[in-house]
Amino acid sequence: MLAACSACAGLSHGSQPLARVRGPLAIRQQHPMALTLFAFRPRRATIQPAGEWGLGVQAAWSSIEEIRRFPSWAPSERVVFDCETIRSTLRGRYGLGSGLDFEIELPLVYASAGRLDSFIEAWHDFLSLPKGGRERFPDDRFEVRMTEGGDELYALEDNRLGLQDIPLILTRELRSEDARGPALAVRAAVELPTGSQRRGFGNGAPDFGLGLVGERSWGRVTATFGLDLHFPGQPDRLEALQRHKLDDGFALELGAEYRWNDNCSLLVGTVWTSRMISSMELEEINREVFDLGLGVAWDLSPTSRVSVSVHEDIVAATGSDLSLQLGWSAGF
C-alpha cells in the first residue's frame, strides 16, 4: 500500500477515469524450486488483436530463508533455501486471429547470498509477520539444497546467470464481456526444458498446463480470476530414487484494480498454489504458497505502462519472505 500510495500521491483523483484496464499483476511465485516448474501468470481474458504484438519486461527480486535440518519427525530430511534471487523475463504475445493468441517467455535468473537479510527481519518485525526462523541463522549466507537420506533432491548454484525453462502458451477466447457475464478464455501450455537441471535452473523435463481466466468490470473497478492445473515433468534424480515425485499442481488467481485517474491504477492480486512435493515431511518445502501482491501501474503512453508491486507469502512456511517486482509492457 505504501508503494502504491507514494506513486500516486502527486496525482489527482479522477472522478470518471478512462475505462482502461492496466492489471492484473503478473504474479509469479519466486521460490527457487518453484521457478523450475511451469506456472501460469495472471492475465486478462481479452485476446491480443490479430497481427499485433504485446511485449513485456519484468524484473523480480526475492529473498527467502526457509531452513530445517534433520528434525526428530523427519530425521533424514534436510531443507535449506537461504538466498536472494533476481529473475528477469522478456515476454511476447502475438494475436493469431480467430480468438487466439500465443505467448512466449524468456526467463533468466541469478542467485546470491545478498545483503538484505537484516532489512527483511526488520520488515517482518514492523508488520508483525512470522520470521520463519531467520533469527536463528547468520545473515547474508547462501545455500539452496534439499536432501533426503544422503541423496540430493535439488540444489541451485550461486553467482551464476542461468537460462530457465521456456513456456509456450496458447489462449483462446470463449466469450467477450457483456451485460450477461464476464469475459472468459481458456489456455494451454508446454514448458520446454531449456534450463540446466544440474545447476538448478530447470527440472530437466517438459511441463504442461491448462487454465481458465475471466474478467469483469464495474465502472472504475475491474476484477480478474484464474483457475490453473499444472503437470510437472519429473527430474532425473527424483525418478532414479523412486521415493519422491513432484506433485501435479493447482492454482487459484484473484485480482482487483481501482482506476485512480486517467493514467494510474491501484492493483491487488493473490495467487494460491498447491504443494510442490508432498512426499517430503518438512513444511519448508511441502506447504501451499499464498502470494499477496499490492502495487500500482501507470501509463507512459496510450500503448505502454510500468508497474511496481510488493509481495508476501501469507502462509509463510514455504514461499519467499519478500518479493519486489518492476515491469514494463507495450503493444505494437
Residue 68 has, within 13 A of its CA and on its CB side, a CA count of: 19
Q: pLDDT tier at 111 (50, 70, 90 boundaries)?
A: very high
**Alpha helices (H) along 157-209:** none
| Sign, CA torsion 144/289/291/188 | positive
Residues 15-25, mean pLDDT to the nearest whole number: 90
Question: Average pLDDT, stretch 95-112?
Answer: 97
- What is the per-residue pLDDT for 14? 74
Return the C-alpha cell found at 185: 478464455
User: Which tops the pLDDT comparison, 5 or 300?
Assistant: 300
- Going from N- to C-terminal start, the domains of the chain cover 2-327
Q: Which of 278, 307, 312, 306 is nearest to 295 (CA)?
A: 307
Share of the chain above pLDDT 70, in %: 89
Looking at the predicted structure, is the pLDDT value of residue 5 above 80? no
CA 115 to each of CA 63, 79, 139, 197: distance values in angstroms, whole numbers, following the listed order: 10, 21, 8, 27
Q: For 22-78, write each residue's pLDDT tens digit.
A: 999 999 999 999 999 999 999 999 999 999 999 999 999 999 988 899 998 999 999
- Work out the percent of the chain whose per-residue pLDDT is above 90: 77
- Are 235 and 251 spatial neighbours (Cβ–Cβ below 8 Å)? no
Which conformational region is residue 159 in: left (phi greater than 0), alpha (psi within -120 to 50 degrees), or beta?
left
| 233/135: higher pLDDT | 233
Q: For 6, phi and psi rounded to 5 degrees?
A: -65, -35
Q: Beta partners for 107?
A: 89
256-282 pLDDT, tens digit per residue, is 999 999 999 999 999 999 999 999 999
pLDDT the model gives residue 171 = 98
Average pLDDT over residues 116-128: 66
Give pLDDT, residue 131. Answer: 56
Q: Which residues neighbour 75 within 8 Å (Cβ) at sequence distance 6 or greater?
A: none
Indicate the pLDDT class of residue 13, thresholds 50, 70 and 90: confident
Topology classification of domain 2-327: Porin (2.40.160)
Q: What is the pLDDT of residue 241?
A: 85
Structure confidence by residue, pLDDT tens digits, 189-244: 999 999 999 999 999 999 999 999 999 999 999 999 999 999 999 999 898 888 89
Inform me whether the pLDDT recorded for 136 exceeds 90: no
- Of 9-13, 34-38, 132-136, the range with the lowest mean pLDDT is 132-136
Omega into 42 within 30° of 0, i.e. cis?
no
**Phi-psi sector, 212: left (phi>0), alpha (psi -120 to 50), beta:** beta
When the pLDDT of each residue in the chain is averaged and rounded to a whole number, the result is 90
For CA atoms 286, 287, 288, 289, the dihedral sign is negative
Check: pTM over 0.75? Answer yes or no.
Answer: yes
pLDDT band for position 153 (50/70/90)?
Answer: very high
